[in-house]
Structure 1
Amino acid sequence: MFTFEDVGAAQSHSSTRGAWVAKVYGPLLIVLVLLSAVAAGGDRPLVWLLMTLSLAVLGLVYGAVQVICDRGRADPVNGQMVIVLPAVAAMGFAVLQLLPLRFDPTGTLPPDLWPDFLTINRTATVLALVRMSGYLLMFWLLISVVDSAARVTHLATLLFWGLFAHAVWGLLALSFLGDIHFWGDKLDYVGSATGTFINRNSFATFLGMGVSLGVALTFRRAFSPSIRMPAGPTAWSRHKLNVVALATATIVILATVFATQSRLGSMATVLGAAVTFGLMMSKAERVPWGQIRRTVVLGGVTVSAILLFMGQGLLDRSILTVAGSLDRFELYREVMGMIAHRPLMGFGLDGFPDAFELYHDPMLDPSLVWDRTHNTYLALWVELGMIAGSLPMLAVAVALVKAWRNIMRRSDGYATSAAAIGAIVTVAVHALGDFSLEVAGNVYLFVALIALGVARFRRAGGR
């Protein structure tokens, strides 16, 4: 058990010759997270290659500096191996899928049509491995440089304002710039905020995680000690202005989520924010129940008002859900049949689009392109099999437990852990009916929030 005073001013890197690396790398990694979503939400192979290459170079430099300047320091990632190992094991299984062993994807194809590898699309699997390598590198580097509460809070705040900028662009592009994409005219999702993404649901997940982060940072600031003003408690101070600024930015991000018109994304965002709020309130000391009730009521009124003014399209779409739901259920039925056909080996990482063409039922709407499962859990199982496909879920579950423990044992420095849990709730719920976690920009943000939420702080003066 330790308090913020034990770790908030921890000397950690500042007492070593490699201190500058942590100070520079933290903000740089956050900027990379925010930039990863700029090009179509990061859903492009070129983005995966550039991000992974950039992170690999940063990792080599960081490793060299630590070996030369700080050889005696324990690697913080060692304490997070319970999260890393399941992800590495899933990647290892995907590597096995590259073996040149032929198989019959449906059980009915003639041998001359069988794939030459255990994955139905070798190129897609290789690119997916590159993408996943980038996620692991991001987690490793962030965990390595965030070893104090002050640094974690600084990086979380920088990340939040970057997400606010994404939200502002989304609203400007929708309402004032003629409903355009970042790169030109919009062909799909006209009338919905998409920001730098192509798909409104993916954008909703991206910003939804930002709402949880905003709630955590707002209440952290509201609960922190403030300087008593000579003019009395009603006077405005820098402390109060910071609280108002954070709360206002969070409301703007939430309004943009509603402007996406993503039904499940909006619901998942509210659920994640509510969980974050509950966790922050559970740790607050000396907050009267009356004030908590007033905050809850004010929050409910605020959400309702935003929904009324910004969510008309969302409300309209929520009424007309029957046809789309029937298509989704038919898709899920077929995907579960695919999983049952290859429950252990799967069809290859990122191989669903090619595999599904062999199973595509004419009952599905032929005017739509079914290149995603619209359910991340089913996507993992159909591509990696039931065992290996469950390993990423296990990694996230372990991260949730570690973030929860951070909240329970700390008297301060727990806001990012609450935000990480709220983000996990948001993406876990939205993943039931969408593929947002199959978009790189979302995963980089998710990985960053998890890293900030599970980070372990060292005691002052410790090496």
Structure 2
Amino acid sequence: MADWLDTPAATSETAGWVSIKKPSAGRSGKPNLKDNFVISPEHTKLNNRLALLLVAIMVLAPIPLASHRPVWWLLLGIVISGIAVWHLVRGSRIAPDRTLQMFKHAPLFLMGLAVVVFAVLQGLPIAAIIPDALLRLPETMVPGPVLHTISIVPDASILGALRITIYLCFVALVLEAAAQPNRGERMGWLLFFGITAHAVWGLVSLNFLGDTLLFGEKTAYQGMATGTFVNRNSYATFLGFGIVLGIALSLDRRIAPRIRASRDPGWLSPERIEMLGIWAMIAMITLALLATQSRMGVGATAVAGLLTFVVMRIKQGHSTAATLLTGGIGFVIFAAIALLRGGQGVLERFIFVEGASETRADFYSQILGMIGNRPFTGYGLDAFAPAFELHRAPPITAPLYLDMAHNSYLTLWAEMGLLFGSLPILALIGAAVIILRRIARRTTDLAMPVAALGIICLGGLHSLVDFSLEIPANVLVFLAVIAIGAAHRPIGR
């Protein structure tokens, strides 16, 4: 596989992965390497290896309980930080004048850094200099120790800031690896294969190995596929990412110039067999998704998959009306299969969604009250659970402890306040705008930008009722595909 990625640098845009251009001269007469730059074969090999390492991290991160335990995401952080240092040192020796790709998206990174800084401030003893009106707590709360920090759990907020820093570092590395479209697309393929492997494991462990986790027995969601995740909804989001990737990549590969022929190649041609294999993998992921019995996982994936299909087909020159008709039929078929093949569990969960919604509405109402109590400062990053317990009131009496808001938007606002809690959402909107511009301007290399658009749709929808994008294994895939789709391209691409 390393040989597959170690493609030599090409001398033209169409001959291979890397465009080698003569740098333009600036006003000082020195080469301007910000946009036009020369990439040496050594730098190409460096980024090829970086791409492999990043995909390996994304494929392995779900194995230890989706890396949702502090020890696992801290270990991921050590690995990612080590890779960043290696790439920075090695890259500076090979191409000392080359601008890091993260600076092409400076506004988005500045939003992320602002969240990190504010989370650290929440954990510092600065409450004495902040007006008491901004740090209100429920009047019914039993008197306790005086808080000297904005966060009611300062240690958790500091650790949360570290976790977000790790994510920003990871995105910066992905942008470096994905600066060449073909490399980014190959990363997408490898990730798709990895998610397929996780889908296969989820089905095998559910049906043939006694419905167990990889490490130990399941304590919840018996009879539902969870793979190596603890939660079925988070696993469903992960699988949905794979389906969106598969749709975009397969449609792009279907029209690739190298597999088109002047005559019908026949049903048993290597190209047709290859496409059948790809769609068999998508079907395998779909079966695992249905086995999770996740209502929003299935629904959000259906909407995101339809969006991906429609955008890809229209950009490939197909009729809008025909594309919408085909996509609509596919959507209906998928919905029917979800209800029938998904089994009684999926059907019952869709039928009885109203009762669950009433309970969820009461829960959200209390969270909105929390946000209204501290709209500017929040209660501290990663402090939702103890903060909610301060505000809990009937009819929310069970379970005894609620550690997630089941709505990532409300979680951000409750923990970080309305201003800083909105920055991740604004950064995501900014990335979506960049991706839409990429899609509008391009006629080639569309698979990953369109997949990124679909994944933003999937994650955005599912986050309305769940916390899938608060799980590190999902966050890494989510951010990586978006970064690949929005990656800066050398002039001419």
What's the TM-score bracket when you normalise by the shorter of the two chains? Answer: over 0.9
C-alpha separation in 1, matches of 2:260 and 2:452 = 32
Instruction: Name which of 67, 86, 98 aligns with 1:42.
Output: 67
**Aligned residue in 1 for 2:47:** 22
Q: Which aligned pairs between 1:136-215 and structure 2 lie closer than 5 A?
A: 136-215=168-247
The Cα shift of 1:322 comes to: 3.5
Q: Which aligned pairs between 1:268-283 and structure 2 lie closer than 5 A?
A: 268-283=300-315
The Cα shift of 1:39 comes to: 1.3
Is residue 10 of structure 1 aligned with residue 19 of structure 2? Answer: yes
Moved more, 303-312 or 405-414: 303-312
Unaligned runs of 5+ in 2: 1-11, 21-36, 128-134
Moved more, 365-374 or 273-282: 365-374
User: Which amino acid in structure 1 is aligned with residue 119 of structure 2?
Assistant: A
C-alpha separation in 2, matches of 1:405 and 1:99 = 41
User: Which amino acid in structure 2 is aligned with residue 122 of structure 1?
Assistant: P
**Aligned residue in 2 for 1:106:** 138
The Cα shift of 1:359 comes to: 1.0
| SS of equivalent to 2:445 | coil
C-alpha separation in 1, matches of 2:233 and 2:387 = 24
Instruction: Name which of 90, 93, 112 aligns with 1:68.
Output: 93
Instruction: Name which of 37, 41, 56 aligns with 1:31.
Output: 56
* 1:246–1:82 CA distance, 2 compared to 1 (3 A): farther
Q: Which aligned pairs between 1:215-364 and structure 2 lie closer than 5 A?
A: 215-227=247-259, 232-285=264-317, 293=325, 297=329, 300-301=332-333, 304-305=336-337, 307-364=339-396
TM-score w.r.t. the length of structure 1 is: 0.93
Is residue 393 of structure 1 aligned with residue 425 of structure 2? Answer: yes
The Cα shift of 1:117 comes to: 1.4
Contact 1:276 1:419 in 2 (8 A): yes
| SS of equivalent to 1:115 | coil
C-alpha separation in 2, matches of 1:230 and 1:374 = 53
Contact 1:13 1:22 in 2 (8 A): no
* 1:299–1:234 CA distance, 2 compared to 1 (3 A): farther
Is residue 411 of structure 1 aligned with residue 443 of structure 2? Answer: yes
| SS of equivalent to 1:72 | coil
Task: Please list the CA deviations of residues 337-386 of structure 1 after superposition, one character each: whole Å capped at 9, or x if unmatched.
Answer: 01000000000000011111111113214245311111100000000000
**Aligned residue in 2 for 1:458:** 490
C-alpha separation in 2, matches of 1:294 and 1:328 = 35
| SS of equivalent to 1:184 | coil
TM-score w.r.t. the length of structure 2 is: 0.87
The Cα shift of 1:280 comes to: 0.3
* 1:61–1:109 CA distance, 2 compared to 1 (3 A): same
C-alpha separation in 1, matches of 2:331 and 2:357 = 31
Contact 2:290 2:341 in 1 (8 A): no
The Cα shift of 1:242 comes to: 2.3
**Aligned residue in 1 for 2:29:** none
Moved more, 403-412 or 450-459: 450-459
Task: Please list the CA deviations of residues 172-204 of structure 1 after superposition, one character each: whole Å capped at 9, or x if unmatched.
Answer: 111111111121221211111111111111111
The Cα shift of 1:238 comes to: 2.6
C-alpha separation in 2, matches of 1:438 and 1:299 = 28
* 1:17–1:8 CA distance, 2 compared to 1 (3 A): closer
* 1:356–1:292 CA distance, 2 compared to 1 (3 A): closer
Contact 2:298 2:338 in 1 (8 A): no
Contact 1:419 1:453 in 2 (8 A): yes
The Cα shift of 1:6 comes to: 8.8
Unaligned runs of 5+ in 1: none
| SS of equivalent to 1:187 | coil
Moved more, 384-393 or 60-69: 60-69
% identical equivalent positions? 34
User: Which amino acid in structure 1 is aligned with residue 269 of structure 2?
Assistant: S
The Cα shift of 1:420 comes to: 0.7
**Aligned residue in 2 for 1:87:** 112
Moved more, 176-185 or 51-60: 176-185
Instruction: State the Cα RMSD in Å.
Output: 2.4
C-alpha separation in 2, matches of 1:13 and 1:139 = 23
The Cα shift of 1:278 comes to: 1.1
Higher relative contact order (CA 8 A, sep 6+): 1
Contact 1:48 1:440 in 2 (8 A): yes
Contact 2:378 2:415 in 1 (8 A): yes
Instruction: Name which of 430, 448, 461 aligns with 2:462.
Output: 430
Moved more, 360-369 or 399-408: 360-369
User: Which amino acid in structure 2 is aligned with residue 121 of structure 1?
Assistant: V
